[in-house]
Structure 1
Amino acid sequence: MFKSSRILLALSVIFLTGSASSASADASNVEVKIIAFNDLHGHLEAPRLSLFVPAANSVGTYVPAGGAAYLASAIKSLKQANPNHAVVSAGDMIGASPLVSALFLDEPTIEAVNAFGIDFNAVGNHEFDKGWRELLRMQNGGCAKFTQREPCALNKQFPGANFGFLAANTFKADGQTLFPATGIKSFGSGTQQVKIGFIGLTLKNTPHIVTPAGVAGLSFADEAGTANALVPQLKAQGADAIVVVIHEGGVTNGSSESSCPSLTGAIVPILERLAPAIDVVVSGHTHRSYICDYGKRNPAKPFLLTSAGQYGTVITDINLTIDPRTHKVVSKSADNVIVQGESFVNNAGVTIKPSADYPRFGKDRDVDAIVTRYADAAAALTNRMVGRLTISVSRRSAISGESPLGNLIADAQLAATQSAEHGGAQIALMNPGGIRADLHVPNRGGEITYGQIFSVQPFGNNLVVKSFSGTQLHRVLEQQFKRQSNTDDGPRILFPSAGFTYSYDLQKPAGSRVSAMRLHGVPIVDKAIYRVTINSYLANGGDQFSLFNKGEHISGGAIDVDALEAYLRSHSPMTPPATNRITRID
């Protein structure tokens, strides 16, 4: 969920559960490497991101990172270092993807990851963006149609994933898990054989952050309780070590201390309840890089915690030493490795180049061929000019909670639905989670392409016009400040279209924080009816805005990204709107 183009990598962590000398000297021990990544989000082409890394002169530098062909090469390089290896992904491999993958229903990403040669993917929330039936197709292959887009547009024999999806806490109505809960991989043979058990978990909060229709009929159980119940089963199957791969995560302040004393977020209460028999927790979701010896933070929980950032820019190299006689892990270590990509010019006009001080990985030919095939097929659409902007537009929030890009999108959605034919909308509201990138232009009056606006709005939501009374509209806006737990990110401020204004005060009691709602300067009347445009995700109660379900449906509209394209075309060159529609009193 969190995004940054500048990530300070955590230092490697090495710690022992036994004697260092005995662990290294005992020839009967088995060394196993676990290679992990998370939150790839279909970023097949180099994502034009730079990571900040230390340097000998203490100043540090930025290096380009990411790209599926480079990630594949990094994985293969790590595999070559130890024949005893497993590769896992901690979710959001697909969903919220750039156009090259999303245009083809993320089939290109599955094909590319097939070529990586991985073992398991713990299903994340974005894997449900197109619904759980489409997710089953991602695993099983085939060309059954579950979305508006046509499947198998290029590959008429889409094979599905050659690795296993795991979802231990995701249950269907019949009580069975949607995907297997666990997997086991064996290494060595005879008295030297060891087994590692993997538990895959999806964050329990998934129903509140995905389209409700996408998870209809599913339930998501408690993460720690589910994992703990599976530990005895894996031990009974001979697992010498247990690795939890979970699509949930935390945030650190970049401290180099291996215990991550500043670690916060939804992962912490889960970790505090996990069984101490678990050896490693591979996490994701927050798009942060960290490695923690959690036992230093809580000695009762002696596991290693890792996360590898986002978009394939980082990969985690985890090494376990296992004693096959005692069936114990005697040492653990991990390092976050930068997947250096190719040079690019950033928005400030600075060329970001790979550094010779860090490992370099060439392009994997097989994966590069897959990416090139789909990129070529998408090129005409990706490069099509849709309009011009006088300056770049940011999704970064102002103190009010608005953002220039959010307001621009709301204006576009209102324009697409204002006519009587399309619903006669008076107000549009846009959710911040539906905006996945900024709109950058190379210079004033710069061209904007379809590929750029697709990266901003990759979900393909339809616009929906619903009617609400003034009272209902007030209650919807009050839901912006509802917190489900202490680990919530806080208010989810909806971006309003031009002409709709209001104030809020977080010091006021819940239910009375929003005031002074006006439409073109006229106060909103409690009993009056207003026609409001929202996307289909919100219309179904997404982002915990359950009261959007209460509105009366008036009309369906265009796909959100098409509305943005039409608006940019008709208003070019455009100056981004100001963030003056919401007033934060407190």
Structure 2
Amino acid sequence: MNKSTAVLLLTSALGLTACTETPRTPEPVNVTILGLNDFHGNLAPTSFTKADGTKISAGGIEAIAAEVSDARKANPNTIFVGGGDLIGASPISSGLLRDEPAVYALNGMGMKVSALGNHEFDQGLDELFRMQNGGCASNDTTKACQYDTTYTGATFKWIGANVEYNATSGKTGKPFAPYIIQDINGIRIAFVGAVTKSTPGIVSPDGIKALTFTDEAAAVNKYIPEIKKQKPDAIIMLIHEGGEIVRLDKDGKPINQDVNYSTVGCKVLDEKSPIVDIAKRVDPAVSAIISGHSHQGYNCLVPDPTGKDRIVIQGDFYGHLLQRLDLTVDKANHKVMTVAAANLVVNYDERKANGTRDAAMTAIITKADAKVAAIKNVQVATLGDAQIQRGVSNARNTESPLGDVIADALVYTTKNQGTQIGLMNPGGIRADLPDTTQIKPGNVVNFGDVFAVHPFGNTTTVVSLTGQQIKDLLEQQWSGANAAAVKLLQVSEGFKYKYTLGNADGQRVNIADITLNGTPISATATYRVATNNFLAAGGDNFTVFKAATNVVQLPGLSDTDVLSQYLKAFGPSLKNVVKGRITKL
């Protein structure tokens, strides 16, 4: 196992006992916390680039479970927790089975608690309750209980202090516990959870209409006094919200290029990142913050409200990394003495080579694969290159080869609706086509590869927008809720525009620089635009879509249908190249 030997050691001045109590003789005990964020039901490993540039297969339940097992052998006081998005947007072997195999795998690894993620809500609140509690009363019985006819639910608990029933729900209480105190061989660790407050803008609104998502830091702070009264030995925050490392200076020149997941104690998280603001406001009683959502690997420091540095860590995505916190707690006086943090690479290739994969997890993935094999292995097409990528390092703020292809596919498959422009949200592109671990002879792609790109089951919508609305829509890529995490819409052939990032909100795109087939669009003319139903409903904070006219829903044309049809027609001519439709000035 390739583990970072560098650790970050912080001495905590935090005492969780009342100051009036007589201090007892210190009783130091070591506790290991392993965190998994943004797993997204990836039962199998996927490609990952290590800090030294080496490309490997990382993650996969067989390797993750083995890593957790090794940690427990080294320290029996080990607990396995989650940072949210454990399910949802998953590859076919889990996604087509409503992520029940993923839940069973996490149960088998002994996960105890996880923050809620926005993708846990993809299928709605009732279905999330089913995933937690078990049963087969699902909103999609073609997928539910197909892996196990008596699905028993998650043995770990999802928590969220900032998730509440709203006034229109007719319900009282909280849908999920705000925190859980876990007993680890007599050591009591409190985990308090939160999910990004932006969840309503990035999931289907019907599924969460009974819920309100409040400010993350305020919600967590509300429960700290209650937690402290129970005298835990440490408090750890699990939050599905994250940040990114600053990579460009104010002049657009590259900086911090050597900072990565293995860097210990970085202080270069972007101040615009939601997690930075949250961490600065969360009560100092929280000793460390395990984060997620932004699919980044970092091990950084952010000052708490008193100005003291506190660890904020995230472990990439799909199980490539495990976040590791090593705590020394004073069990007698209920306080944290030290905290060390590291991101551990889950090297599947090494596990396979040395025969240390977890056999129980092998059984789960074998069964899941067998359940979906008849669909997964159907050949769709061959490509002109071995792979068409979704962007370097999962970047969502640039044009990508696969984004271009998908936008073109939207136009091609809806041409009978008079479509002129195709628009695709980058967050809806979940994998390269195919993943590096799935490249096959002859550049073949099968349905499993297509499903990995589009696991949501979205359908297609064609709408009419004026030129001014298109301009306003493009402006929303950098403003409002998208300001902290740019979502650059992927656009189709013949549609081009230029933008100036340094300009103010609403002024980054000049309508004269938006062209269709070489001609500037008219502010008053109407254009037919194809997209998915999620975006068409205003998803990912692109609310301009809500004002569209002549809306045509195509429920029989799923996102996998759109891409599959286009690949069948043009696959051999498709290359892994960016077409240059979007220009940054």
TM interval, shorter chain, is 0.7 to 0.9
Three-state SS of the structure 1 residue aligned to 2:399 is coil
Mark the runs of 5 or more structure 2 residues left unpaired by the alignment: 15-24, 246-255
In structure 1, the residue matched to 2:253 is none
**Contact conserved, 1:315 with 1:336, CA < 8 A, in 2?**
yes
The 5 Å alignment of 1:260-409 reads 260-264=266-270, 265-292=273-300, 294=302, 300-301=307-308, 303-342=310-349, 362-391=356-385, 392-396=387-391, 401-409=398-406
The 3 A distance-change label for structure 1 pair 8 and 456 is farther
- Deviation track 1:358-413 (CA, whole Å, cap 9, x = no partner) reads xx782222221111101122223222211121123222289994322112111111
Aligned partners of 1:120 and 1:126: how far apart in 2? Answer: 16
| 2:525 alignment partner, one of 503, 525, 528 | 528
Instruction: Give CA-to-partner distance per residue, 1:97-117, whole Å, 9 cap, x none.
Output: 111111111111011111111
**Residue of structure 2 equivalent to 1:259:** 265
| Separation of aligned partners in 2, 1:69 and 1:578 | 34
Q: Could you report, residue by residue, the CA deviation over 1:230-284 in whole angstroms, capped at 9, with x for unpaired residues?
A: 1110111232311111112233442777432223332111111111111121112
| 1:548 matches 2:545 | yes
Q: Taking structure 1 as reference, are residues 302 and 480 closer, same or farther at Cα in structure 2, changes over 3 Å only?
A: closer
Using the alignment, how far apart are the partners of 2:578 and 2:359 within structure 1?
46
Structure 2 CA distance for aligned equivalents of residues 14 and 494 of structure 1: 41
Q: Contact 1:11–1:291 (CA<8 Å) still a contact in 2?
A: no
Is the contact made by 1:476 and 1:547 (CA closer than 8 Å) also made in structure 2? Answer: yes
Tell whether the 8 Å contact from 1:242 to 1:277 is kept in structure 2 after alignment. Answer: yes
- Give the 3-state SS of the residue equivalent to 1:35 in structure 2: strand
In the TM superposition, what are the counterparts of 1:73-88 in structure 2 within 5 Å? Answer: 73-88=66-81
What per-residue deviation string (whole Å, max 9, x for no partner) do you get for residues 415-460 of structure 1? 22122xxx34332211111112222485996222211121111111
Q: Deviations over 1:22-76 (max 9, x none)?
A: xxxx7833333322221111110122334235xxxxxx85554211011112112
SS at match of 1:139: helix
Q: Give 1:51's aligned residue.
A: 50
SS in structure 2 of the partner of residue 195 of structure 1: strand
C-alpha displacement at 1:294, in angstroms? 5.0
Residue 456 of structure 2 aligns with an amino acid whose one-letter code is: F
The reply to whether residue 498 of structure 1 matches residue 503 of structure 2 is no
**390-399 vs 123-132, greater mean Cα deviation:** 390-399
Match among 92, 112, 116 for residue 85 of structure 2: 92
Aligned: 1:243 with 2:236: yes
Q: Determine the C-alpha separation between the residues in 2 that align with 1:579 and 1:37.
A: 33
* Distance (Å, rounded) in 1 between the aligned partners of 2:371 and 2:38: 24
Q: Check 1:234–1:67 CA distance in 2 against 1; reply closer, same or farther (3 A cut).
A: same
Identity of aligned residues (%): 36
Q: In 1, distance between residues paired with 2:269 and 2:212?
A: 28
Give the whole-Å Cα distance in 2 for the aligned partners of 1:212 and 1:156.
30
- 3-state SS of paired residue (1:428): strand
Q: SS of the counterpart of 2:294?
A: coil
- In structure 2, the CA distance between the partners of 1:27 and 1:278, relative to structure 1 (3 Å rule), is closer
Q: Are the aligned partners of 1:429 and 1:532 in contact in 2 as well (CA < 8 Å)?
A: yes
Q: TM-score, normalised by structure 1?
A: 0.85
TM-score scaled by structure 2? 0.85
Map 1:125-524 onto structure 2 (within 5 A): 125-147=118-140, 149-173=142-166, 174=171, 176-188=173-185, 193-252=186-245, 253=256, 254=259, 258-264=264-270, 265-292=273-300, 294=302, 300-301=307-308, 303-342=310-349, 362-391=356-385, 392-396=387-391, 401-419=398-416, 423-440=417-434, 446-484=443-481, 488-490=484-486, 492-506=487-501, 510-512=505-507, 513-516=509-512, 517-524=514-521
- The letter for the 2-side match of 1:501 is K
Aligned length: 545
Cα distance in structure 2, aligned partners of 1:480 and 1:307: 25
Whether the 8 Å contact between 1:213 and 1:540 is mirrored in structure 2 is: no
Change (3 A) 1:526 1:269: closer
CA 1:299/1:156 → structure 2, altered by over 3 Å: closer, same or farther? same
Question: How well do the aligned residues superpose, as a CA RMSD in angstroms?
Answer: 3.1
Partner amino acid for 1:568? L
CA deviation vs aligned residue, 1:155-206 (integer Å, no higher than 9, x gap): 1111110110101111122464331111011245xxxx44221101101222
Shift of 1:523: 4.7
- Is 1:124 the counterpart of 2:117? The answer is yes
SS in 1 for 2:476: helix
SS across alignment from 2:35: strand
Preserved CA contact (<8 Å) 1:51 1:64? no
Distance 2:300 2:566 in 1: 47
CA distance in 2, matches of 1:113, 1:403: 33
Match of 2:252 in 1: none
Aligned residue type for 1:15:
L
Give the C-alpha shift of residue 508 in structure 1: 5.4
Q: Distance in 2 between matches of 1:294 and 1:518?
A: 43
Partner of 1:119, secondary structure, is strand
Residue 130 of structure 1 and its aligned partner are, at CA, apart by 2.2
Equivalent-residue separation in structure 2 for 1:185 and 1:215 (angstroms): 29
Cα deviation digits, residues 59-95 of structure 1 (max 9, x gap)? x855542110111121122123333332211111112
- C-alpha change, 1:458 and 1:156, in structure 2 (3 Å) is same
Q: What does 1:6-25 align with in structure 2 at a 5 Å threshold?
A: 11-17=6-12
Partner SS state of residue 584, structure 1: strand
Structure 1 letter corresponding to 2:510 = V
5+ residue gaps, structure 1, are: 1-6, 20-25, 54-59, 344-352
| Deviation of 1:136 (Å) | 1.6
CA distance in 2, matches of 1:105, 1:116: 19
Q: Is the 8 A contact 2:265 2:300 kept in 1?
A: yes
* 1:52–1:302 distance in 2 versus 1, CA, 3 Å: closer
Q: Cα–Cα, structure 1 residues 298 and 508, in superposed 2: closer, same or farther, change >3 Å?
A: closer
Residue identity matched to 1:312: G
SS at match of 2:278: helix
Q: 1:399 to 1:515 in 2, by over 3 A?
A: farther
Higher mean C-alpha deviation, range 556-565 or range 263-272: 263-272
